[in-house]
Amino acid sequence: MFFFKISRSQTCKPRSHNMASKNQKNKPHVFFFPFLAHGHMIPTVDMAKLFASRGVRATIITTPLNLPLISRSTQQSTLLGLPINLLSIRFPCAEAGLPEGCQNVDAASSYSMMAAFFKATAMLQEPLEQLLREHHPDCLIAGSFFPWTTDSAAKFGIPRIVFHGTGLFPLCAGDSVTVHQPYKDVASDSDPFVIPNLPGIEIQMTRMLLRAFLMSNEDTFLSRLFKAEKQSEVTSFGVVVNSFYELEGIYADHYKKVLGRKAWHIGPLSLCNRDQNEKSNRGKQASMDAGDCLKWLDSKKPDSVIYICFGSKSNFTEPQLKEIARGLEASGQNFIWVVRRGKKDEDQDEEWLPEGFETRIEGKGLIIRGWAPQMLILDHKSVGGFVTHCGWNSTLEGVSAGVPMVTWPVSAEQFYNEKLVTEVLGVGIPVGVKKWVPVVGDYIEEEAIVNAVKEIMEGEEAEEMRNRAKKLSKMAREATEEGGSSYSDLSCLIEELVGPSD
């Protein structure tokens, strides 16, 4: 368990780009083009707000149905005096074979829909370039799943910066596994192997925890996309990372010095949201009134509530949901549990809940069906633990809130994030997931849930984890304040783009 101290010099190198002189007197204009998933749009909106707060003109590009999700939080920032422009481009559902209205990854519910979704995103190149032609921004910060945006930006002589939406540890670990293929050296899918060429403590994985398509030679849309994404990471101007140096310093250094990437860590981005409205207006409309949620939390003792949420995409089977319900009840803890299901009939018991569950847990547990104001909840003093699927945003929001975590990864790079939380930082306990599964999580039994929840909520070890988590939270806040590591790295990035301010 260690935290990173700043050891490198934070000097900026303004670049000689023709944009620099053009905009020295005016505000530089940055286009933000997030991938169409909540886990990318939410931090990108935060990033645009952060840039706007530092004197940059920020414009976010998205599609019509994603626009209202984004404008909910940008309206708030306009009220606070930091206007952000929004531009919309048509999403070609029909041309890609998608049902009308499928403009966000959370609506693509099968592999074939995902393939069609990525096909549609590639068709956004022409309309994006039209906007670049009309608006002449100075820089394009685009999601990593839009690898073609590097070429688009080059056509207009502006830099493209990549936003992966993940951290430095998972970027370094993922790169090592892709390049060195250590999974080839073990006999079975459950045999452990060490991730080579990674600084810090030894990290072990198994083949079962890796994305299957990475280990296969099959030519699929995912393998092609992944290769193009890696390639554009190298050919783009650089990578902007939602993290902070004190959290992942040795991996930040490794990413830059050993892997040779140009990168700026400017997070946690979520910390740009300071008041209640800003915190509760991220992503979708919350299914529970933020005030009611706070009132419920206010009635609980400090650090006595565990918050359970698996992000915007992950799902579970009904038997698994029932097992989670039993586990939460048996743990004896207060809880807020976010379930991505609506209630069909007020008077009917739902099949995914044990009989009489809601009556028994009244006053002790709260189920939010749909979307929760996550940041608001995590930041409340009564919340003392977080069961998370380890999406990068949730992981960093947990770190920023200073709560220990039960890690329950499902897919994407979440198994690397689990290792960071549990083994590198020592602020979490794994629930024991053994298999990477696309979207619908691996099965975990009640007993494992009870044990993991108790381990982060009760006893001496929980207290030690909580103390470490609170220290990290303090460091996260300091990093984003004037003079902090993330604040300074953002200054460096802006200077590189437009030259030093007079």
Least separation in angstroms between residue 466's CB and ligand UDP is: 20
- Binders of ligand UDP in range 310-339 (CB under 6 A): 311-314, 338
Q: Which residue of 392, 416, 436, 487 would you call a contact of ligand UDP, by CB under 6 A? A: 392
Q: Is 292 helix (H, G, I), strand (E, B) or coil?
A: helix
Point out which span in 142-150, 353-361, 372-380, 429-437 binds ligand UDP (CB under 6 A).
Answer: 372-380
Minimum CB distance to ligand UDP, residue 127 (Å): 25
d(CA 256, CA 261): 5
Amino acid at 149: T
For the chain, the residue count is 502
**By C-beta, is 282 or 419 nearer to ligand UDP?**
282
Contacting ligand UDP within 268-287 (CB under 6 A): 282-283
List the one residue from 173, 195, 240, 309 that touches ligand UDP (CB under 6 A): 309
Asked if 431 is part of the footprint of ligand UDP (rule: CB under 6 A), the reply reads no
Residues in contact with 433: Cβ distance below 8 Å, sequence separation at least 6, in sequence order:
407, 408, 409, 410, 415, 418, 441, 442, 444
42 is a site residue for ligand UDP (CB under 6 A) = yes
Count of chain residues binding ligand UDP (CB under 6 A): 21
List 17, 29, 38, 254, residue binding ligand UDP (CB under 6 A): 38
- End-to-end CA distance of the chain, in Å? 42
- CB closer to ligand UDP, 375 vs 462: 375
In the bound complex, what is the minimum distance in angstroms from residue 282's beta carbon to ligand UDP? 5
Q: Please give the distance of CA 448 from its chain centroid, rounded to a whole number.
A: 26
Angle, alpha carbons 427-424-441 (nearest 5°): 70
Q: Are 427 and 473 in contact (CB under 8 A)?
A: no
**Contact region for ligand UDP (CB under 6 A) — 12-20, 259-267, 316-324, 371-379?**
371-379
> Which of 149, 236, 281, 394 contacts ligand UDP by CB under 6 A?
394
* CB crowding 471-483: b at 16 or more within 10 Å, else e: ebbebbeebbeee
Tell me whether residue 153 or residue 308 sits nearer to ligand UDP (CB atom): 308
Q: Look at residues 51, 19, 33, 82 and name the one whose alpha carbon lies nearest to residue 486.
A: 51
Q: How far is the CB of 279 from ligand UDP (least distance, A)?
A: 9
Beta strands in 164-249 (DSSP E): 193-194, 204-205, 238-241
Chain positions contacting ligand UDP, by CB under 6 A: 37-39, 42, 282-283, 309, 311-314, 338, 371-372, 374-375, 391-394, 397
